[in-house]
């Protein structure tokens, strides 16, 4: 019969190796991590993926990359934010859920599941807040 201490050590070593293999596999597959929008080009691509035919004309990305606002020629505005390890987009149809606080723009959509997001837009926060006030009004 094998020594119980050796069996226990082998079991712990086997568990450690299995954990390391799973961590390596997750890293190799780009699972988890901290999703960020790398820049305006990525935000435009995400908007085009969200709505077929959406042709971005103006974009602003949060300083930390957690969200973005994208506008097209028809003055439709998409709010893009991370949702788990992916990104989700919602079209803003009203300025009712928009609040400006210095360089921060807090946006709440009609979709409760989408939640509220505060974007650090720097100097662009006031410009975008003013433009969002025109949402829902006839052109």
DSSP string, 35-51: ----SHHHHHHHHHHHS
Q: Check: CB of residue 70 under 8 Å from CB of residue 80.
A: yes
Domain limits of the chain? 1-31, 40-132
Give the C-alpha separation, 15 to 2, whole Å: 19
Average pLDDT, the chain: 90
Give, in order, the Cα–Cα distances in Å from 111 to each of 85, 108, 128.
19, 8, 21
Indicate if the pLDDT at residue 1 is higher than 70. no
Q: What is the mean pLDDT of residues 64-78?
A: 94
Indicate if the pLDDT at residue 34 is higher than 90. no
Q: Please tell me whether the overall predicted TM-score, pTM, comes out greater than 0.85 for this model.
A: no
Q: What is the reported pLDDT for 19? A: 94
């Amino acid at each position: 019969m094998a020594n119980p201490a050796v069996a226990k050590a082998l079991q712990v070593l086997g568990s450690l190796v299995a954990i390391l293999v799973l961590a390596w596999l997750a890293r190799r597959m780009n699972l988890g991590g901290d999703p960020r929008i790398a820049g305006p080009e990525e935000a435009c691509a995400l908007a085009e993926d969200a709505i077929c035919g959406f042709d971005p004309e103006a974009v602003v990305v949060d300083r930390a990359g957690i969200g973005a606002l994208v506008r097209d020629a028809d003055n439709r505005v998409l709010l893009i934010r991370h949702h788990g390890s992916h990104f989700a987009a919602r079209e803003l149809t009203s300025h009712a859920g928009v609040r400006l606080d210095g360089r921060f723009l807090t946006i709440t959509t009609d979709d409760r599941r989408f939640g509220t997001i505060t974007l650090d837009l720097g100097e662009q926060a006031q410009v975008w807040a003013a433009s969002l006030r025109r949402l829902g009004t006839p052109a």
